[in-house]
């Protein structure tokens, strides 16, 4: 019930629509319950005419009664329209609010959150669970009071009309209520499983569609089809189980209602025969009992709606209540453009607070210096650079920029001063212009073109039929690996940041293209502190400081020549990986012979 209460509090943000929906509901309810007395009057009037043998009747009186009935039905129809319209509007606004809250909350979560939550699971919550809550708002929150009010008013009228028949009508309600409560608890647990299975199936779909090239490369379609069929079959099984439970609930309630109708016809008919009731009064009683059928029949559906909303709310609020490990200080201030002096002071870091991936890192980069990070896989290179923009927070020690702890500045201003070129380049399904200007949406066309020139992309873009308006397909599949890499470089260049992080930024291009990018980037890196994770000698050879990591610790540091003299880990990396590239570099840097010379 806690989840339901929280959902209702969100709905109360649209209280005026709710109020008018409830007012329309009250008016429709009143109009509805006023109809049976006029039906009774018409039936008894006609029977009285036939019993008296007069053979004539007052046409005006009958037309008046019929007109009143039609008028009440019209009023009920109009008010029901407004009730349903306003209820749907509230449900849509609530789903809008929850989707936005979920989306915005996830946007501000750290990398650690995304490490633990699969994309497909988050999408399932944002779509399926929000839709379940929307249905609950419209059919549960808005219409439940109508059904409850209808049940209470009609039950009271039945007791007033004839307490004996009223007691028979209400006798089945305790059984129905107990049965509904039991079903609701079972269905909530069942719908929680259904939504979890739905998330798992979404994960399979998302991974398959994203990695379709890998699937086809390994001819793994049969394996993927079998995997999806297994998930899909599990989901269908739980859906059928839930539907069976809902159907049994509805059938049981309908059976109890029809049993009550049968008893009313039997005992009510005897009272008519004994002269204690008129036929019109019995008809009126049966119409009211028919009205009572609606809330009884809808009880099963409402139980289902509440169960689905409760399980959906539990899954959604689990995300919304999760706090990011990376939090801004209450008195955090904006960081003005720094000079770029970055310092790691006894920094330790752990992803799960158990196993440390960085230990006692002491590192200082002066403004304008290029720091190259090397080391075997898993040595902590990426972890080091991920701490600078606070994608994760340090476990111990601190990181400062120009002597200021980065935890004391706002995340937005910190990241605005850091340009990042990631190894896994992600391009959005929009134009080349918008992709380059992603971090600076107000950039002019001249600034965008200048960034593209620096990244050696301008000529290629201009050669395209639509130029900078060319649409990028999903994940940049219509660009080569080198082109995507240079798009990412252009995106970072446009920010004009004082600090650059290049995560293996040139490893996806050939040696000549790499050299062109390097020459272009020299002017960009001038006066900027740059951290480079690279496996090419062309990058590390020109670094001011090379930091070699092993098992989360700094094993060596120095220039290229200094580290070679140490004859340590850097020397091993050089001999195995970097030295074979020297011949290529010499070939690139040597002048091209001119014919005839």
pLDDT tens-digit series, residues 132-143: 898 889 888 888
Q: Do 194 and 71 belong together in one domain?
A: yes
Average pLDDT on 323-334 reads: 87
The CA distance from 342 to 179, in Å, is 66
Predicted confidence band at 481 (pLDDT cuts at 50, 70, 90)? Answer: confident
Torsion of CA 35, 41, 46, 51, to 10 degrees: 150
Residue 403 and residue 429 in one domain: no
Asked whether residue 595 is domain-assigned, the answer is no
Say whether both 304 and 359 belong to one domain: no
Asked if residue 126 is part of any domain, the answer here is yes
Cα angle 485, 486, 487; round to 5:
90
pLDDT value at residue 595: 47
Q: Rank 39-43, 333-337, 488-492 by mean pLDDT and report only the highest.
A: 333-337
Q: Is residue 119 located within the same domain as residue 233?
A: yes
Contact between 419 and 495 under an 8 Å Cβ cutoff? The reply is yes
Q: 141 and 185 share a domain?
A: yes
pTM: 0.75
Average pLDDT score over the chain: 82
- Judgement on whether residues 68 and 87 belong to the same structural domain of the protein: yes
Is 597 among the domain residues? no
**Predicted local confidence at residue 124, as pLDDT:** 81
Which of 320-324, 452-456, 561-565, 585-589 has the weakest average pLDDT? 585-589
| CA distance linking residue 306 with residue 133, whole number of Å | 9
Cβ atoms of residues 351 and 115 within 8 Å: yes
Q: Is residue 328 part of a domain?
A: no
| Percentage of the residues of the chain whose pLDDT score is greater than 90 | 19
- Between residues 415 and 60, the one the model is more confident about: 415
Q: How far apart are CA 248 and CA 187, in angstroms?
A: 12
Residue 248 has what pLDDT?
Answer: 80
Q: Give dist(CA 343, CA 364) in Å, integer.
A: 4
Structural domain ending residue among the three candidates 496, 513, 528: 496
**Bridge partner residues of 418 (DSSP):** 499
Distance from CA of residue 306 to its chain's centroid?
21
**Final residue belonging to a domain, choices 266, 290, 320:** 320
Q: Note the pLDDT tens digit of each residue in 268-315.
A: 888 888 878 888 888 888 888 888 777 776 776 777 788 888 888 888
Per-residue confidence (pLDDT) for residue 460, from 0 to 100:
86
Mean pLDDT value across residues 399-403: 92
CA distance 203 to 344: 38
pLDDT bin (cut points 50, 70, 90) of residue 597 is: very low
Q: Which DSSP letter does residue 467 get? A: G
My answer on whether 382 and 480 are in the same domain is no
Q: Taking the CA of residue 306 as centre, how many other CA atoms within 13 Å lie in the half-sphere pointing to its CB?
A: 22
Q: Looking at residue 97, what is its pLDDT?
A: 92
Residues 248, 307 within the same domain: yes
Q: Are residues 453 and 309 in the same domain?
A: no
Give the pLDDT band (50/70/90) at residue 471: confident
For residue 337, being part of any structural domain is answered with: yes
| Residue 153 located in a structural domain | yes
- Among residues 496, 522, 538, the one where a domain terminates is 496
Long-range contacts of 82-87 (CB under 8 A, 24+ apart): 82/20, 82/21, 82/24, 83/21, 83/24, 83/25, 83/28, 83/142, 83/143, 83/146, 84/138, 86/17, 86/18, 86/20, 86/21, 86/24, 86/142, 87/21, 87/137, 87/138, 87/139, 87/142, 87/143
What are the pLDDT digits (tens) for 162-203? 888 888 777 777 777 677 767 777 777 787 788 788 778 887
Looking up residue 492, the CATH number of its domain turns out to be 3.40.50.300
Report whether pLDDT(249) > 80: no
In terms of phi and psi (left: phi > 0; alpha: psi -120 to 50; beta: otherwise), the region of 340 is: left
In a domain, 147, yes or no: yes
Q: Is the pLDDT of residue 514 over 90?
A: no
Q: Are residues 515 and 552 in the same domain?
A: yes
Query: What's the confidence (pLDDT) of residue 513?
Result: 63
How many C-beta atoms surround the C-beta of residue 566 within 10 A?
A: 14
Residue 404 pLDDT greater than 80, yes or no: yes
Q: How far apart are CA 597 and CA 590, in angstroms?
A: 15
Beta strand 342-350 with 356-365: parallel, antiparallel or unpaired?
antiparallel
Q: Residue 596 falls within a domain, yes or no? A: no
DSSP H stretches of helix in 378-506: 381-387, 411-416, 432-436, 445-454, 458-463, 481-495
Q: How much is the average pLDDT of 490-511? A: 75
Sheet containing strand 370-374, edge to edge, reads 418-421, 499-503, 529-533, 370-374, 545-550, 553-558
The Cα 534–Cα 381 span in angstroms is: 10
pLDDT tens by residue, 124-166:
888 888 888 988 898 888 888 888 888 888 888 888 888 888 8
Between 165 and 212, whose confidence is greater? 165
Question: What does the pLDDT read at residue 596?
Answer: 45
Mean pLDDT on 119-124: 80
Of the pLDDT bands very low, low, confident and very high (cuts 50, 70, 90), residue 594 is: very low
Q: Which of 313, 304, 303, 301 is nearest to 10 (CA)?
A: 313
Bridge-based pairing state of the strands 529-533 and 545-550: unpaired
How many residues are present in the chain?
597
Could you report how far apart the first and last alpha carbons of the chain are, in Å?
A: 88
User: Residue 287 maps to which CATH number?
Assistant: 1.20.1560.10
Give the number of domains in the chain. Answer: 3
Higher pLDDT, 217 or 433: 433
pLDDT at residue 255, as a whole number: 82
Does residue 534 share a domain with residue 470? no
- Residue 403, domain extent: 333-417+498-590
In 3D space, the residue among 566, 549, 546 whose CA is nearest the CA of residue 557 turns out to be: 546
Contact 545/484 with Cβ under 8 angstroms? Answer: no
| Same-domain pairing of 55 and 12 | yes
339/330 Cα distance (integer angstroms): 25
Range with top average pLDDT, 247-251, 521-525, 563-567:
563-567
- 153: which DSSP letter? H
């Amino acid at each position: 019930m806690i989840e339901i209460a929280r959902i209702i509090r969100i709905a109360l943000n649209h209280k005026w629509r709710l109020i008018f929906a409830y007012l329309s509901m009250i008016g429709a309810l009143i109009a509805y319950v006023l109809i049976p007395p006029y039906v009774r009057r018409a039936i008894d009037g006609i029977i009285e005419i036939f019993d008296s043998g007069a053979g004539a009747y007052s046409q005006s009186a009958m037309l008046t009664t019929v007109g009143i009935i039609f008028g009440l039905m019209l009023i009920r129809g109009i008010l029901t329209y407004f009730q349903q319209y306003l209820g749907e509007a509230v449900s849509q606004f609530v789903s809008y609010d929850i989707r936005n809250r979920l989306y915005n909350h996830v946007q501000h979560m750290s990398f650690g959150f995304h490490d633990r939550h699969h994309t497909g699971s988050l999408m399932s919550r944002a779509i399926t669970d929000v839709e379940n809550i929307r249905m609950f708002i419209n059919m549960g929150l808005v219409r439940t009071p109508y059904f409850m009010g209808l049940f209470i008013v009609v039950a009271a009228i039945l007791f007033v009309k004839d307490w004996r028949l009223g007691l028979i009508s209400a006798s089945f309600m305790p059984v129905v209520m107990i049965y509904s409560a039991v079903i609701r608890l079972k269905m909530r647990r069942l719908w929680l499983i259904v939504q979890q299975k739905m998330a798992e199936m979404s994960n399979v779909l998302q991974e398959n569609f994203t990695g379709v090239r890998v699937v086809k490369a390994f001819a793994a379609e049969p394996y993927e089809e079998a995997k999806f069929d297994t998930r899909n079959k599990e989901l269908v099984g739980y859906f059928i189980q839930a539907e069976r439970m809902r159907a049994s609930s509805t059938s049981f309630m309908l059976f109890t209602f029809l049993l009550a109708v049968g008893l009313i016809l039997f005992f009510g008919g005897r009272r008519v025969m004994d002269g204690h009731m008129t036929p019109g009064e019995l008809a009126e009683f049966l119409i009211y009992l028919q009205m009572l059928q609606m809330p009884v029949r809808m009880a099963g559906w409402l139980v289902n709606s509440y169960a689905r909303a409760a399980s959906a709310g539990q899954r959604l609020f689990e995300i919304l209540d999760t706090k990011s490990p990376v939090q801004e200080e209450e008195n955090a201030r904006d960081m003005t453009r720094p000079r770029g002096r970055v310092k790691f002071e006894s920094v330790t870091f752990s992803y799960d607070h158990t196993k440390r991936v960085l230990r006692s890192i002491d590192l200082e980069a002066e403004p304008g210096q290029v720091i190259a990070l090397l080391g075997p896989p898993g040595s902590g290179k990426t972890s080091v650079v991920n701490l600078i923009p606070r994608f994760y927070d340090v476990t111990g020690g601190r990181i400062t920029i120009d002597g200021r702890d980065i935890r004391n500045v706002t995340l937005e201003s910190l990241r605005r001063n850091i340009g990042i070129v990631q190894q896994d380049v992600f391009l959005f399904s929009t134009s080349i212009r918008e992709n380059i200007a992603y971090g600076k949406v107000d950039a002019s066309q001249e600034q965008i073109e200048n960034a593209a020139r620096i990244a050696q992309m301008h000529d290629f873009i201009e050669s395209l039929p639509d130029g900078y308006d060319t649409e990028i397909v999903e994940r940049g599949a219509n660009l080569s690996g080198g082109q995507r890499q240079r798009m990412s470089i252009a995106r970072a260049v446009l920010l004009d940041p004082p600090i650059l992080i290049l995560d293996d930024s040139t490893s996806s291009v050939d040696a000549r293209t790499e050299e062109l990018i390097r020459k272009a980037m020299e002017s960009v890196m001038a006066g900027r502190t740059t951290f480079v994770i690279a496996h090419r000698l062309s990058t590390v050879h020109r670094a001011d400081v090379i930091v070699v990591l092993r098992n989360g610790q700094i094993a060596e540091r120095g220039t290229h020549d200094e580290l070679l003299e140490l004859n340590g880990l850097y020397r091993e990396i050089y001999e195995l990986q970097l030295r074979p590239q020297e011949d290529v570099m010499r070939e690139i840097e040597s002048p091209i012979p001119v014919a005839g010379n």
